[in-house]
């Protein structure tokens, strides 16, 4: 038995359909941010619902090009030796600072790409400061009072301020942006602005996301010019289509509880569980309020590498399968080789095609990753 990340393509398609419907109600174009889901094997499932993808750098941009649609790139900074390669892989490039815009903007513009500038709107709704793009002293984007000149190189603005943003968060951000764009410094830009990317972080899988307030906020924003408006969700496009399949290697019976050791590691395979102090959904086996308390521990040597406490209808036994849900986003994208623990396979599952393994790792991959001669 081997651990697996399982991606349910049927579930992915259903969520993408909801996201598309919300985008249409809002009157925005829909992109998919690759940072949490760099899985080209699933691109055919996503492609019918999105206009393109967004990437965080050169490697993701190359990957995103495989979808055959628009590729938008934004990063805190670009290196001198990668800008030419980036221009070969994407359609839009967003610069995070006026310095980078001045340095690379003319080259990018000359190559026929669309040039964007990231604007920090100073709008915060995230519960966790380290995940708030607009936290104090944020390194993301240019503040409105820092804008100088007429921004003649700029075709579009990128604004990403949300993390787990619900409809009112989204509407509030858009309303704040509309207010900012009414400032004198943006007036020369608005008549020739081609697009505004409102970023990601939207809970786009909520069928009721496109509330009257959110729709009205986007509509009001559009009255400021003739530009396209787009969003780029990631997590809530894919999160609930993914699960992590683990197996019980050992069970330690204690007086007050059981400790089950699984063949996975939250530190390696589901980092958000530790970083966010999240409680994972357990899809299998069945749980019961009357069951004996069981601690799901991981196979690494990190003392805090524990998934959590649960109560199951039947006590776990060695060899049992435990399926953790809600891990379609970031999990396999953030994995590491901590303790040399083997990565789970990535398996696509659908009723039409059954299941197939699209990514698998062995010792040679581990050796190649860290061998001094790589």
Model confidence pLDDT, tens digit, residues 105-151: 999 999 999 999 999 888 776 776 667 787 787 788 898 888 877 78
Residues of the chain with pLDDT under 50: 373-374
Give the per-residue pLDDT at 184: 75
Cβ distance 197 to 185 under 8 Å?
A: no
Instruction: Give dist(CA 168, CA 208) in Å, integer.
Output: 11
Give the per-residue pLDDT at 140: 85
Q: What is the CATH number of domain 240-343?
A: 2.40.37.10
For the entire predicted model, the pTM comes to: 0.92
Instruction: Give dist(CA 135, CA 233) in Å, integer.
Output: 20
Residues of the chain with CATH 2.40.37.10: 240-343
Dig out the tokens for 189 from the structure.
Answer: 């830009």
Instruction: Give dist(CA 296, CA 74) in Å, integer.
Output: 38
Give the per-residue pLDDT at 374: 42
> Yes or no: is domain 9-233 CATH 3.20.20.10?
yes
Question: By C-alpha distance, which of 130, 210, 193, 200 is closest to 165?
Answer: 200
Instruction: Give dist(CA 344, CA 268) in Å, integer.
Output: 10
| Residue 228, strand partner residues | 195
Please state the three-class secondary structure of the chain as a single string.
CCCEEEEEHHHHHHHHHHHHHHHHHHCCEEEEEHHHCCCHHHHHHHHHHCCEEEECCHHHHHHHHHHCCEEEEECCCCCCCCHHHHHHHCCEEEECCHHHHHHHHHHHHHCCCEEEEEEECCCCCCCCHHHCCCCCCCCCCEEHHHCCCCCCCCCEEECCCCCCECHHHHHHHHHHHHHHHCCHHHCCCHHHCCEEECCCCECCCCCCCCCHHHHHHHHHHHCCCCCEEEECCCHHHHHHHEEEEEEEEEEEECCCCEEEEECCCHHHHCHHHHHCCCCCEEEECCECCCCCEEEEECCCCCCCCEEEEEEECCCCCCCCEEEEECCCCCCCCCCCCHHHCCCCEEEEEECCCEEEEEECCCHHHHHHHHCCCC
| Residue 293, strand partner residues | 311
Residues of the chain with CATH 3.20.20.10: 9-233
Instruction: Give dist(CA 96, CA 76) in Å, integer.
Output: 5
Give the per-residue pLDDT at 185: 82
Model confidence pLDDT, tens digit, residues 308-331: 999 999 999 999 999 999 999 988
Instruction: Give dist(CA 75, CA 78) in Å, integer.
Output: 7
């Amino acid at each position: 038995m081997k651990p697996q990340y399982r991606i349910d393509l049927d579930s992915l398609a259903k969520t993408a359909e909801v996201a598309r419907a919300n985008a249409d109600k809002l009157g925005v174009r829909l992109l998919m941010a690759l940072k949490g889901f760099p899985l080209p094997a699933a691109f055919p499932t996503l492609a019918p619902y999105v206009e393109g993808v967004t990437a965080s750098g050169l490697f993701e941009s190359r990957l995103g090009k495989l979808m055959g649609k628009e590729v938008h790139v934004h990063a805190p900074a670009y290196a001198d030796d990668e800008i030419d390669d980036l221009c070969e892989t994407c359609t839009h490039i967003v610069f995070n600072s006026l310095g980078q815009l001045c340095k690379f903007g003319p080259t990018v513009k000359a190559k026929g790409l669309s040039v964007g500038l990231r604007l920090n709107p100073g709008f915060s709704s995230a519960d966790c400061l380290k995940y708030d793009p607009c936290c104090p002293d944020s390194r993301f984007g240019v503040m409105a009072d820092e804008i100088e000149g007429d921004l003649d190189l700029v075709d579009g603005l990128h604004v990403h301020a949300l993390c787990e943003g619900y409809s009112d968060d989204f509407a509030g951000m858009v309303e704040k942006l509309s207010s900012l764009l009414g400032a004198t410094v943006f007036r020369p830009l608005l008549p020739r602005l081609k697009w505004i990317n409102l970023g990601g972080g939207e809970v786009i899988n909520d069928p009721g996301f496109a509330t009257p307030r959110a729709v009205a906020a986007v509509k009001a924003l559009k009255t400021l010019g003739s530009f396209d408006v787009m969003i780029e969700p990631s997590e809530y496009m894919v999160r609930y289509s993914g699960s992590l399949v683990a197996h019980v290697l050992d069970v330690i019976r204690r007086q007050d509880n059981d400790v089950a050791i699984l063949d996975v590691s939250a530190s390696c395979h589901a980092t958000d569980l530790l970083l966010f102090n999240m409680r994972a959904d357990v899809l299998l086996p069945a749980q019961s309020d009357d069951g004996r308390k069981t601690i799901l521990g991981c196979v690494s040597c990190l003392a805090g590498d524990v998934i959590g406490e649960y109560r199951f209808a039947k006590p776990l036994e060695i060899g049992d399968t435990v399926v953790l849900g809600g891990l379609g986003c970031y999990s396999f994208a953030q994995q590491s080789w901590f303790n040399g623990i083997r990565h789970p396979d990535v398996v696509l599952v659908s009723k039409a095609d059954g299941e197939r393994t699209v990514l698998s790792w062995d010792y040679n991959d581990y050796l190649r990753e860290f061998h001094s001669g790589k």
